[in-house]
Structure 1
Amino acid sequence: MSTAIIGMPLSRVDGRKKVTGSATYAAEFDQPGQAYAAIARSTIAAGRIVSIDLSEAEQASGVVAILTHQNAPKLPYRAHKGDPDPVVGERLHVLQSNEVNHQGQPVALVVADRLEQALHAASLVRVVYASATASTDATQAQPVSPGNSTTHPSETRRGDADAGLAAAEVKVDQTYVIPRQYHNPLETHATVAAWDGDKLTLWDKTQWLHNVADEIASVFDISSEDVRVISPFVGGAFGAALRTWPHVTLAALAARVVGRPVKLMLSRREMYYGVGYRPYTVQRFALGASRDGRLTAILHDGWQETSTYEEFRESLPHATKFLYSCSNVYTRHRLAPLNVHTPTYMRAPGEASGIFAMESAMDELAFALGIDPVELRLRNEPTRDEAQDRPFSSRSMQECYRLAAERFGWSQRNPQPRSMRDGHKLIGWGVASATYPVHLQAASALVRLLPDGTAEVVSAASDMGPGTWTTMTQIAAETLRLPVGKVRFNLGDTKLPRASVHGGSMTTASVGSAVQGACQKARASILANASTNDIAEAIRRLEHPYETLFHFTPGDAKKRFSMHAFGAVFAEVAVDPDLCEARVNRIVGSYGLGRIVNPKTTRSQVIGGMVGGIGMALMEHSPMDRRNGRAVNANLAEYAIPVHADNPPEMEAIFIDEHDPHVNPLGVKGVGEIAIVGVAPAIANAIFHATGKRIRELPITPDKLL
């Protein structure tokens, strides 16, 4: 029997449950005697509540209770800082005071017997406010230096970037703008909360189960062991479900007050006020180079919006420090506090935004120099991470460019803008680099071998769509030397061993390493006491189930190597010169991702990232009402995202055969985040090539091409 299960294009083991509707999501865990909650939200951006009139709402049919800051129990809110939480600032203390920090802040919670009753009663809550002067216009914001951070200092210097820029023979110095963007996953957020004495169960949409338990325990000042979180399936998230948002606290609070289970679901509109988003970002990017295309200076000065009560920071200039070889590099990252709710991580946070500016500027520099954009990048390829002065654990960027350029047919490109046509339409080809760091966290897994010859492997991981159910099954099956059909993997419950956060492209690396370690330990133990080398036969001889727990802890490789995934993205666009409408004809991406556990689900991840990049480049933005910070298009009718008709017929992902023994025991680098990186600038660069117009503010809509 072949044991090469890792690397097989296995179909999703949870696929049948999803397509038949038997996969259960957070809002579907109905409980006996369940009530429903609805949130009344602030209509101002800053100020205080003067009075709340509940008389009409309390008389509405089915109302069980209405909570406001005037009658809600005071919650301890002990300190808690999970990885997704901003280091500086304090999370919103919901229904604990009359202070209003942002548009859409919860000001009352209605609990009723039925959902429709709760929603109706919430609409009858009457609030009088004393408005304060609010700062809601990001275009007029005044950025300031953030609080101290050891991991991401606000300023970095290598050499003298100002001098390098001044002495450069060719310069590019431009500003690039990315608007606020929202995750908009298929499944909106929902929580079902039920108390049993002092113990709480939460069925919640989350990307990190134990973090929810830790956060809610800190809010209510109870033990994390007394909070059970269940979340076996997540209908997309892209970072929106990393934090534990106020609605989870409200569901738990309501359930405690009314003494029965409570379900709280956010509407699509509430997703624009109740959870985070990719922040509005402005970046100055300056490049200096010699006539032969060698970089002499890089200046990256960016800022982003955040709330007044927390400092959310992306890793905006992180890739700038090492992606290209340059002796003189300066980066600065600032924040603009506004009366808005706190932004959060959105697919490839920081990298997707920062690399849009970097790769747009590199394209502008290539045009100014008269050098092919691919050649310019390859001329500045570093041999080591010059920011950390460390070798890369592996770096396949040159191979990525070679393979993708060949597949795309880049050598046939006419470099002159507006020179390529398909009938009436202008054709443009663009390219951009992609990168994302390799992250790793501690994780645990348990394997249970059963006398019927099967194995159960469990860890409290999440799966928002990348295929965790499947990849963990493959890792376990290959490590145990069992057929896939003999292995069952389970996740999504804090009663299982603690897992890493399901974000940052680290799930397979972290949880997968724990699964691999547990299976290696179990296999070695069973075979050591068996009279056969056949693991299946040894398991069948067991008189009782055998189980073993394994705790994976990252080593010190990150102190010795710079560890990143890399890629090259090529895009073709067609622009109608009369309608100024740009459409993407095809995208080819080539990636060095280390070991590929499942090429089928990995390709799916990359294609999804490409679609997200199309949305970022051409469609997605949310204008703010400058009077009150209201998102004016908080729905899927007006917040445009790509549908199938918008996507190109050709989206191709190429994976480099890359062996990296340093990143983690499995040798994987992760794909979820890097899949979107580089797509937007490749499209923007293609649009310039097609039209001769350089658009530096996303999205590139027809009005900007007129």
Structure 2
Amino acid sequence: MVQTSTAPLPSSARPYVGTGQRRIDGVSKVTGQARYAAEFPADGLLYGHVVSGGALASGEILRIDTRAAEAVAGVVRVYTHENRPRQPWFDSTYQDQVAPPGIPFRPLKDAKIVYSGQPVALVVAQSLEVAAYAASLLEITYREEPFRTDLAAEQSNAYVPPEKRAGIEPPPPDRGDVDRALAEAPVKVEASYFVAAEHHNPMETHASTVVWNDGKLTVYDKIQGVVASKEYLNEVFGLSPDDVHVISPFVGGAFGVGLRPQYQLFLATMAALDLRRSVRVTLTRDQMFTLTYRPHTIQHLALGAERDGRLTAIRHEAVAATSTFEDYQEVVVNWSGLGYRCPNVAFDYKLAKLHTYTPSDMRAPGAATGVYGLECAMDELAHAAGIDPLELRLKNYAEEDANTGKPFTSKQLRECYRQGAERFGWSRRSPRPRSMRDGRELIGWGLATGFWEASMQQTSARAVLSADGGLELATATADIGTGTYTILAQIAADAMGVPIEQVDVKIGDSSLPASPLEGGSWTAASAGSAVQKACFGLREQLFHHARAMEGSPLANEVLERIIFTGGRMEVANDPSRSVVVADVMAALGLEKLAAEETAKPDQDAQENYSGYTHSAIFVEVRVDEELNVVRVTRIVDAVAAGRILNLKTARSQILGGVVFGIGMALEEQSELDHRFGRFMNHNIAEYHIPVNADVRDIDVIFVEEHDDKVSPIGVKGLGEIGIVGTAAAIANAIFHATGKRVRDLPITPDKLLRDDVDGVSSGMARAG
């Protein structure tokens, strides 16, 4: 007989989704219990130190003398291109999941040098200190060949990539007659914008611990998707799926650098298989600059408008850097076709091959770059036309995606503008540059719009309910610091009506149900939808069991009328008719009940709608009139991103993106010395990023938005929208403060001090 209850619902019956919950993994992180890739123990562990060939950007190794290194006590093996084990990968065309067209870099393949800093040897020893010391004893002789690392000098050699990168849309077809519209436009701007190369620099450097056990490998890797590393190892080393198990429960930041398996994984696995020992390879901070980066990009924009500010023409062209061996591509210019209503639009996107490593996705790849150019050009157009920058954007507001002609799944950008402007006090802005000041500081107010794609990927998840009320979730997705553990627990707790403390989330393990890489701001929508679907599968099983039991108060009911709350199933509007879930499990003799489901994006929505997240960023800067030092004193970022799962972690995502944007606008630049072809500021001391003193008041507004098309749980994603537009808003505020238009990021004091800064390096803006 099933017992019923009319007791008051416990506090756990309150919904978790939409509230500000603390991270469920927070305690383990701050107490050091959370283990990262280089922290997992293994018996007899050996340590590998990578030798970076930083002497040249192109050429070959003529001689490599390893004798002194091999003579050091504790050194087990020194691997070079001359003695490394033969691998199937060296003769195959295999590419990893996110590889662009071309041939991936293959460490130690041969004597060829294709970029400065590439790994040329691996020293394996009984301790990390011995390996590093022995590595310093290697004597290497090179032959240098001509190289190219200057994007500006290579513009004339730029080309349209012959093969499209998977998942990256090429520029849409031109529409209208841009040349004629520009020629006839009474107001026009034309300018070039420069974005410097940036390296990711997450707190955790890349590392792989490969545990060898009788030919089978357990691999702890820094990666944004364990399935990617597993597939990579299976293909590269010709291993069977059962021989490789990849684990990555915690990732100390990534921002895109962890989307591809990096070379330390190959080297550690190569050594482990050859030596039949467990091997760990950890990259130094300097060596993080020998990996991927946001590509330096040059953009040229021309905008034409009527005197009232209505756009008549947009031309957006871009040349971006790639390596000599892969055609890395981003969506850079497309944003200008969907951002604003305009009848005449033309696009051009080309690549220039440089002797560097292949660039990669870096927080909002393409958008952070392309929207910077577009939004600065819009600010220049507003100034040339004598129109308020916010009014100009509202006048050209796009109600549909003009690139495709499709309606948006949802778009509350107008409300972002309204709420952001009201909170910021935009109406008090004096329009004339250099007209607002406080003592020796010039005050500038600027704004920009943010756009980022909202999508969902197919993801599987498993939910297991225990007789004691514990709920275990499992999916192979990752948590790169975004709060994935917590939001999945929230979704499941609400779905099953249990306290969040009873939910155990397992992720970052290739043996769990399949999940895509964590990237593109799609993880919350994808993994969250899969978890909810798995929990709904559990609900259905429990309900049918409970309804079929003798004397059940749920007899003749339908699942749609059942509420799961407080560990019970109760009939909506009649809590007296309820069943305790634990009683159902006990009556059936079940210790556990499981459901595994796969969530897929809505095909109709994908084909007939465009999904994007939107934001409006308002910025205040103060610029010292004599020193030209810029301080970002206030930012209001109003974001429309569908359903917000966790107010606390969601706000943190936007804060992080905004700080990223501050760095992009004012500080971050990987400095290439074209005489040597290498990045010179390859450490945190000289690669400048925002610190506490650079970050002031950041106010985040989440604009209410309902979206039932992007994902089953109404989520759009927040990981990247925070950076998009932020650099442009800061640049626009600096112009308003100083009257100087700097179009070359980052905007450093020396650029503001130049007398020719307004127009010489970047173009013209005029009202005819």
TM-score normalized by the length of structure 1: 0.98
Q: Is this contact kept in 2: 1:69–1:97, CA < 8 A?
A: yes
1:258 shift after superposition: 1.7
Cα distance per residue 1:250-275 (max 9 Å; x no partner) = 010011122211110011000000x2
Q: Is this contact kept in 2: 1:451–1:541, CA < 8 A?
A: no
Cα distance per residue 1:59-97 (max 9 Å; x no partner) = 1221000111111111111444444211x1011121121
**Aligned match of 1:626:** 674
Pair 1:591 & 2:602 matched: no
**Aligned match of 1:53:** 65
Cα distance per residue 1:363-388 (max 9 Å; x no partner) = 00000000000000000001211110
Q: Is this contact kept in 1: 2:52–2:287, CA < 8 A?
A: no
**Aligned match of 2:445:** 429
Q: Is this contact kept in 2: 1:145–1:154, CA < 8 A?
A: no
CA distance in 1, matches of 2:727, 2:17: 32
**Aligned match of 1:74:** 86
Residues 595-610 of structure 1 aligned to structure 2 (within 5 Å): 595-610=643-658
1:480 shift after superposition: 1.3
**Aligned match of 2:158:** 143
1:156 shift after superposition: 3.0
Q: Is this contact kept in 1: 2:171–2:333, CA < 8 A?
A: no
Q: What letter is aligned with 1:13?
A: I
Q: Is this contact kept in 1: 2:171–2:334, CA < 8 A?
A: no
Residues 92-103 of structure 1 aligned to structure 2 (within 5 Å): 92-103=105-116
Pair 1:644 & 2:692 matched: yes
Is the deviation greater in 347-356 or in 197-206? Answer: 197-206
1:3 shift after superposition: 4.1
Q: What letter is aligned with 1:282?
A: I
- Structure 2: runs of 5+ lacking an equivalent: 1-8, 547-551, 555-561, 563-567, 570-578, 754-768
Pair 1:401 & 2:401 matched: no
Give the secondary structure class of the aligned counterpart of 1:529.
Answer: helix
1:500 shift after superposition: 1.8
1:41 shift after superposition: 1.7
Cα distance per residue 1:238-260 (max 9 Å; x no partner) = 11111111111001001112221
Q: Is this contact kept in 2: 1:65–1:110, CA < 8 A?
A: yes
Residues 13-52 of structure 1 aligned to structure 2 (within 5 Å): 13-42=24-53, 43-52=55-64
- Structure 1: runs of 5+ lacking an equivalent: none
Pair 1:696 & 2:743 matched: yes
CA distance in 2, matches of 1:39, 1:227: 23
Q: Is this contact kept in 1: 2:602–2:709, CA < 8 A?
A: no
Q: What letter is aligned with 1:45?
A: A
CA distance in 2, matches of 1:460, 1:629: 39
Of 314, 329, 332, the residue aligned with 1:298 is 314
How many percent identity over aligned positions?
A: 46
Q: Is this contact kept in 1: 2:114–2:324, CA < 8 A?
A: yes
Is the deviation greater in 387-396 or in 192-201? Answer: 192-201
Q: Is this contact kept in 1: 2:190–2:301, CA < 8 A?
A: yes
Of 426, 449, 456, the residue aligned with 2:472 is 456
CA distance in 2, matches of 1:365, 1:27: 51
Q: What letter is aligned with 2:119?
A: P
Pair 1:126 & 2:139 matched: yes
Pair 1:107 & 2:120 matched: yes
1:439 shift after superposition: 2.0
CA distance in 2, matches of 1:330, 1:125: 53
Q: Structure 1 residues 431, 487: CA separation in 2 closer, same or farther (over 3 Å shift)?
A: same
**Aligned match of 1:256:** 273
TM-score normalized by the length of structure 2: 0.90
**Aligned match of 2:565:** none
Residues 310-389 of structure 1 aligned to structure 2 (within 5 Å): 310-389=326-405
**Aligned match of 2:98:** 84
1:199 shift after superposition: 2.1
Cα distance per residue 1:638-664 (max 9 Å; x no partner) = 11101101111x101101110011111
Give the secondary structure class of the aligned counterpart of 1:27.
Answer: coil
CA distance in 1, matches of 2:383, 2:236: 55
CA distance in 1, matches of 2:158, 2:267: 33
Residues 239-250 of structure 1 aligned to structure 2 (within 5 Å): 239-250=256-267
Give the secondary structure class of the aligned counterpart of 1:522.
Answer: helix
Q: What letter is aligned with 1:446?
A: R
CA distance in 2, matches of 1:537, 1:500: 36
Q: Is this contact kept in 1: 2:602–2:710, CA < 8 A?
A: no
Structure showing greater radius of gyration is: 2
1:128 shift after superposition: 1.2
Pair 1:552 & 2:599 matched: yes
Residues 370-519 of structure 1 aligned to structure 2 (within 5 Å): 370-519=386-535
Give the secondary structure class of the aligned counterpart of 2:62.
Answer: strand
Cα distance per residue 1:330-370 (max 9 Å; x no partner) = 11111111111011010000000001100000000000000
Provide the aligned C-alpha RMSD in A. Answer: 1.3
CA distance in 2, matches of 1:632, 1:540: 66
**Aligned match of 1:271:** 288
Of 11, 19, 40, the residue aligned with 2:22 is 11
Cα distance per residue 1:81-131 (max 9 Å; x no partner) = 444211x10111211211111111111111000001111111111111121
Q: Is this contact kept in 2: 1:79–1:218, CA < 8 A?
A: no
Is the deviation greater in 490-499 or in 480-489? Answer: 480-489
Cα distance per residue 1:467-525 (max 9 Å; x no partner) = 00000000111111212122111111111111121010000111111001000011111
Q: Is this contact kept in 2: 1:80–1:214, CA < 8 A?
A: no
CA distance in 1, matches of 2:582, 2:346: 59
CA distance in 1, matches of 2:583, 2:395: 59
Q: What letter is aligned with 2:679?
A: A
Q: Is this contact kept in 1: 2:95–2:104, CA < 8 A?
A: no
Of 610, 615, 626, the residue aligned with 1:567 is 615
Is the deviation greater in 536-545 or in 330-339? Answer: 536-545
Give the secondary structure class of the aligned counterpart of 1:673.
Answer: coil
Cα distance per residue 1:612-665 (max 9 Å; x no partner) = 1110000000111212322110001111101101111x1011011100111110
Q: Is this contact kept in 1: 2:195–2:298, CA < 8 A?
A: yes
CA distance in 1, matches of 2:411, 2:97: 27
Give the length in aligned residue pairs: 703
Of 697, 710, 713, the residue aligned with 1:663 is 710
Q: Is this contact kept in 2: 1:205–1:231, CA < 8 A?
A: yes
Q: Is this contact kept in 1: 2:462–2:594, CA < 8 A?
A: yes
CA distance in 2, matches of 1:672, 1:18: 20
1:155 shift after superposition: 6.3
Runs of 4+ in structure 1 displaced over 4 angstroms? none
Pair 1:205 & 2:222 matched: yes
**Aligned match of 1:674:** 721
Q: Is this contact kept in 2: 1:285–1:361, CA < 8 A?
A: yes
Q: What letter is aligned with 1:512?
A: G
